[in-house]
Amino acid sequence: MTEEIARVRNIPPFNDSISPNAQKEKASLAVEQVEQTVTSLHYIQNIVIQLSDENKHLSSVTECNMEGISNMRIHTGDVAKATENLADNGTVIHEASVSLSNLAGTLNRVVSIFKS
């Protein structure tokens, strides 16, 4: 049964006849592979930490941008209100100017009546 599992998993069957030098070589190879795995995992860990830091930075920048956009929307609304007020004031000023012009015409007629 154990040999069948080893065959299915592509594990060579345990061979007691392996020489001590071959066993030492295989153990050294296994240790080297474990060390390479550890080195790779440290490298991956550093990359993940860098990506996490960059992600935090991007998140902060995005949050600042969202605040800026929100402020721009508020200010856009303020500018629209100011423009509307300016248009209303322009209408009032025009009406006042027409009234002053009419008043000036009336005063000119009154002055000409008193002069004659």
What's the total number of domains in the chain?
1
Summarised one tens digit per residue, pLDDT across range 15-40 is: 556 788 888 888 899 999 999 999 99
Judge whether 13 lies within some domain.
Answer: no
**pTM exceeding 0.85:** no
Encode pLDDT of 39-94 as tens digits. 999 999 999 999 999 999 999 999 999 999 998 988 998 899 999 999 999 999 99
**Residue 8 or 94, more confident:** 94
Q: Is residue 14 in a domain? A: no
* SS3 per-residue string spanning the chain: CHHHHHHHCCCCCCCCCCCHHHHHHHHHHHHHHHHHHHHHHHHHHHHHHHHHHHHHHHHHHHHHHHHHHHHHHHHHHHHHHHHHHHHHHHHHHHHHHHHHHHHHHHHHHHHHHHHC
Residue 52, in any domain of the structure? yes
40 inside domain: yes
In a domain, 9, yes or no: no
Q: What is the pLDDT of residue 61?
A: 95
Q: Which residues form the domain of 27? A: 19-115
Would 80 be classed as within a structural domain?
A: yes
Q: Is residue 11 part of a domain?
A: no
Would you say residue 2 lies in a domain? no
